[in-house]
Amino acid sequence: MPFKLSATLRGHEQDVRGVVAPSDELVVTCSRDSTTRIWLPPSDSKQSRFVSDRTEPLIVFHSPNNSFINSVTYIDSKQHEPLIASGSQDAIIYLSEVAVSDRKPGDDTGKYQLIGHAGNVCALEYKNNQIISGSWDCTAKVWDLDTLLVKYDLVGHESSVWDVKILDNDTFLTCSADKSIRLWNGKKEVQRFSGHTDVIRKLLVFPDGSRFASASNDGTVKLWDLKSGRVLQTLHGHESFVYDLTLLPNGDLVSVGEDRTIRVWRDGSILQVITLPCISVWCVAALPNGDIVVGGSDNIVRVFTRDSSRIASDEEIAELVEAVQQSSIAEQSLDNLKKTDIPSYEALERPGKQEGATIMVKNPSGVIEAHQWSGGEWVKIGDVVGSAGSGQKKTYNGKEYDYVFDVDIEDGAPPLKLPYNVNENAYTAAQRFLAENDLPSSYTDEVVKFINKNTEGFSIQEADEAPTYDASLNPYSDSYQREHNQDTIASSKPSLKVIPETTYISFKDYKEAQLIAGLKKLNSEQDESNQLSESDISTISRNLKLLTSKESLQLIVEYIPRIITTWSPATRLIGYDLLRISIPRVTTVDLLRSTEGAEAVLKAISSGLDVADASTIPLLMMILKTLNNLIGNTLFVQLYIDPNEDGTYTYNKFFLDLLSTLTAKVIDITENGKFHKLYNTTVTTIATLLYNLSVYHLQTSGLKKNPRSSESIVQFTNEVGDLIVESNSEAAYRLAIAYGNLRYAKAFEPVPEWLNKAGELYISKGEQRFIDLARDLQSL
């Protein structure tokens, strides 16, 4: 019997991010609404069945500072009373009592606290009187519950540790955004498992202890042999990120993900697909009785069962079906949708080729619907609609947009405006919004997710079989261009969606108090002869508070050179941090009055690159951010541009030397610093530099009129392209946009090999932004 809805549990006010089911009578969930809640069936419920309208959640923990709760585990030990551990965005693990009797207001803020992480605690598991936690601070920690102290610090991952498992008292398994899974004996790494091509989100250890499964943003689930490290099987089926896994008592595997689905697997094949009316299905757990409980981005907890005695009422099942059917699928998210080729309802008379297959049909009213083959029947999962909401444009800063969202960034502060058009790339809109509001570029993914969620669009692949990658269909490749001749391209004349991109990506954000505190601490560590005086520190603090052009120029000319030339190499980074934020604030008028600013910046960058290498990756990253903030500024022209008699521009010797040095630096950190936690971020900043240079080329007529002006940039791009593409998706995308901009400006004609590789790596995974860019390139 397939799974059917058993209960719909409402109570959370934001995304449900974690769930555990210690028994048939107890479900524990955590949420971005800052609470951890337990769910108990009504006392008169038959067979411990949760009942939608009578199961009330009890808040067992409420974050005292309203931080997101992103992970949860249940502690049932003979040495302790039952506890619930909640992992918080504020880097603290809170332990709360499960007992529900005599609970009073104020008792829900945690009995104990485990303090030691430096970032969001996104994973927890309890076993053998130990808790293991994973965090965005790139570490995992094993905690002794008797002492509430850290027993082992597992240090080695280069990015967030997304999940953690205890195998026995001193053996642990972790997975990370660095695409690796690692086995630990105590605090020592003893084995590494590689095979996924993107962030690894979840681990599941099988009862026999010899195998485990992993879920990834690459859309696959892999089964591994623990001893040999060999991949036993790769499960394809999800159309986006896979977030969580659980194992049923009968051995079936269940996975959930960003494609709105729950998927039940048996012997490597999909047994059942259940689509939910939410964008993200974040978490899943199996009850001992074989039911499953899931939580998603619609704030709802749902229980599904195979037992006919626990199935929900017909009205409740109909309510879920209607909610799914009313989901909207953005028309532009569908590949090659040709309205004239959509079949009628007659297509639904033929069975799907496999569980989860999706087709588009046109109903009698002419509306295009998406249907999915689930449980032996076609189930409607939404209407295909345009995404422009009301269809009326909204005006913002003199331009018209399909949407202008209000985004709350800070309590008590007015919301920021986020404009968006449905025909533009969500990443472009996100980067524009962050740049205009001086917000960190690290928020890009969150803003993109916000846009996608609020425009009610999600990607769906219309296919009866798991996607496969055909290199001949890579729209970036030469073979594709030969196959699809220019006459065909010209006749279709599709509008450009991504390029040209003319918005700079900058790194202007800073926290004044944090910067001053760091400056004072590092200043105290210098030799007395090199220390800044109290008066100097006071002046710098005042300048940072104001940071107008005058104050910024004073920092650049008087104070920053002293830091980066006299302080020890390990502490110079703060000087470049100050330089990074000062450069964008200096006006052209002030720069033209004196050449001291340009000279100081040139010396700072040259001396910094002399000492920055794989052993000082943070320093190199900060220098690169400084260079990014230079582009488009008058300082950039003063330092790196020579005017010609015919009114065109040429990059000068200083710029050519800079690119030569940066080529060596990229090769160095790739060979000797690839496992540094900031490696991917640093490479992304290199790609951003090339992106910004391409934007500058488009905006500067003196460069566009000189056909040879971009040669040095093209050469640099080709020398480091492969290394950037292999690093991470975001770096590859920014590099590909740079190529698109230069090609749009007729400055980069041949298709480079690294671009073909980008297609192989990211189009094959269905990354829509790469597909959109590829289509633009074919239109040029």
Q: Are 131 and 106 in contact (CB under 8 A)?
A: no
- Topology at the third CATH level for domain 327-463: Ubiquitin-like (UB roll) (3.10.20)
Across residues 669-675, what is the average pLDDT?
Answer: 90
Residue 254: band (very low, low, confident or very high) from pLDDT cuts 50, 70, 90: very high
Across residues 197-208, what is the average pLDDT?
Answer: 94
**Which three-class secondary structure state does DSSP give residue 547?**
coil
Across residues 628-656, what is the average pLDDT?
Answer: 90
Q: Are 772 and 735 in contact (CB under 8 A)?
A: no
pLDDT given at position 117: 92
Using alpha carbons, select from 763, 774, 689, 705 the residue that is nearest to residue 740.
774
Mean pLDDT of the chain: 84
Q: Give all strands of the β-sheet with 200-205 in edge-to-edge order.
A: 200-205, 211-216, 220-225, 231-236
pLDDT given at position 746: 87
By mean pLDDT, which of 405-409, 476-480, 507-511 is the weakest?
Answer: 476-480
Q: Are 209 and 226 in contact (CB under 8 A)?
A: yes
Q: Are 387 and 378 in contact (CB under 8 A)?
A: no
**Cα distances (Å, whole numbers) of residue 694 to 231, 337, 736, 749:** 42, 32, 11, 14
pLDDT given at position 444: 65
**Cα distances (Å, whole numbers) of residue 442 to 161, 420, 434, 629:** 17, 19, 9, 16
Q: Percent of the chain scored above 70 by pLDDT?
A: 85
By mean pLDDT, which of 484-488, 646-650, 665-669, 762-766 is the weakest?
Answer: 484-488
Round to whole Å and give the CA distance between 558 and 535: 13
Across residues 597-606, what is the average pLDDT?
Answer: 93
Q: Are 385 and 329 in contact (CB under 8 A)?
A: yes
**Cα distances (Å, whole numbers) of residue 70 to 32, 47, 66, 160:** 7, 30, 12, 13
**Cα distances (Å, whole numbers) of residue 411 to 5, 407, 415:** 39, 11, 9
For domain 512-749, the CATH class is mainly alpha
Residue 601: band (very low, low, confident or very high) from pLDDT cuts 50, 70, 90: very high
pLDDT given at position 369: 83
**What are the structure tokens assigned to 64, written together?**
């005292």
By mean pLDDT, which of 355-359, 484-488, 531-535, 716-720 is the weakest?
Answer: 484-488
pLDDT given at position 341: 67
Report the b/e string of 37-70 with b at 16+ CB within 10 A: bbbbbeeebeebbbbbeebebebbbbbeeebbbb
Q: Count of CB atoms within 10 A of residue 225's CB? A: 13
Task: For strands 139-144 and 149-155, give the pairing.
Answer: antiparallel
Q: Are 734 and 700 in contact (CB under 8 A)?
A: no
Higher model confidence: residue 432 or residue 692? 692
pLDDT given at position 749: 72
E-state strands within 421-501: none
Angle made by CA atoms 532, 538, 540, in degrees to the nearest 5 = 75
Residue by residue, what is the 3-state secondary structure of 57-124?
EEEEEECCCCCCEEEEEEECCCCCCCEEEEEECCCEEEEEECCCCCCCCCCCCCCEEEECCCCCEEEE
Using alpha carbons, select from 440, 428, 564 the residue that is nearest to residue 509.
440
Q: Cα 56 to the chain's mean position, in Å?
A: 34
Which pTM value belongs to this model?
Answer: 0.54
E-state strands within 338-431: 358-362, 368-374, 377-385, 394-396, 399-401, 403-407, 416-420
Residue 109: band (very low, low, confident or very high) from pLDDT cuts 50, 70, 90: low
Q: Are 9 and 39 in contact (CB under 8 A)?
A: yes
- Identify the H or E element spanning 479: helix 478-483
Round to whole Å and give the CA distance between 544 and 602: 22
pLDDT given at position 475: 37
Round to whole Å and give the CA distance between 32 and 29: 11
pLDDT one-digit tens code per residue, 426-438: 666 776 787 677 6
> Is the pLDDT confidence value at 397 over 60?
yes
Round to whole Å and give the CA distance between 398 and 402: 13
- Of 264-268, 343-347, 762-766, give the range with the top mean pLDDT: 264-268
245 Cβ partners below 8 Å, 6+ apart? 202, 203, 204, 213, 215, 221, 253, 254, 255, 284
**What are the structure tokens assigned to 273, written together?**
């697909």
Q: How many CA atoms lie within 13 A of 688 on its CB side?
A: 28
Instruction: Give the single-character DSSP code of 336.
Output: T
The dihedral sign for the CA sequence 336, 339, 341, 344: positive
Query: How is domain 18-253 classified at the architecture level of CATH?
Result: 7 Propeller (2.130)
Q: How many CA atoms lie within 13 A of 186 on its CB side?
A: 1
Q: DSSP H helical segments within 239-367, as ranges? A: 314-325
Residue 373: band (very low, low, confident or very high) from pLDDT cuts 50, 70, 90: confident
By mean pLDDT, which of 313-322, 326-335, 621-630 is the weakest?
Answer: 326-335
pLDDT given at position 455: 66
pLDDT given at position 458: 39
Higher model confidence: residue 413 or residue 156? 156
Parse the chain into domains and list their residue ranges. 18-253, 327-463, 512-749
- Cis link prior to 500 (omega < 30° from 0)? yes
pLDDT one-digit tens code per residue, 746-772: 887 788 999 989 988 888 777 788 888
Using alpha carbons, select from 578, 726, 602, 737 the residue that is nearest to residue 658.
602
Across residues 282-303, what is the average pLDDT?
Answer: 95
Residue 153 β-bridge partners: 141
> Is the pLDDT confidence value at 106 over 80?
no
> Is the pLDDT confidence value at 539 over 70?
yes
pLDDT given at position 466: 31
pLDDT given at position 422: 67
Angle made by CA atoms 427, 298, 379, in degrees to the nearest 5 = 95
By mean pLDDT, which of 7-21, 37-51, 259-273, 647-661 is the weakest?
Answer: 37-51
pLDDT one-digit tens code per residue, 551-582: 999 999 999 999 999 998 888 999 999 999 99
> Is the pLDDT confidence value at 156 over 90?
yes
Q: Give all strands of the β-sheet with 301-305 in edge-to-edge order.
A: 4-9, 301-305, 292-296, 281-286
Across residues 84-88, what is the average pLDDT?
Answer: 94
Q: Are 61 and 94 in contact (CB under 8 A)?
A: yes
Residue 487: band (very low, low, confident or very high) from pLDDT cuts 50, 70, 90: very low
User: Which residue is listed with tokens 């006071």?
Assistant: 538
By mean pLDDT, which of 1-10, 310-319, 403-412, 589-598 is the weakest?
Answer: 403-412
> Is the pLDDT confidence value at 152 over 60?
yes
pLDDT given at position 463: 35
**Which three-class secondary structure state does DSSP give residue 13?**
coil
384 Cβ partners below 8 Å, 6+ apart? 329, 330, 331, 334, 337, 360, 367, 368, 369, 370
By mean pLDDT, which of 176-190, 260-274, 288-302, 465-479 is the weakest?
Answer: 465-479
Residue 326: band (very low, low, confident or very high) from pLDDT cuts 50, 70, 90: confident
Instruction: Give the single-character DSSP code of 473.
Output: G
Residue 508: band (very low, low, confident or very high) from pLDDT cuts 50, 70, 90: confident
Across residues 346-357, what is the average pLDDT?
Answer: 82
**Cα distances (Å, whole numbers) of residue 79 to 28, 83, 96, 100, 146:** 21, 11, 15, 20, 8
**What are the structure tokens assigned to 682, written together?**
């640093």
The dihedral sign for the CA sequence 666, 669, 674, 680: negative
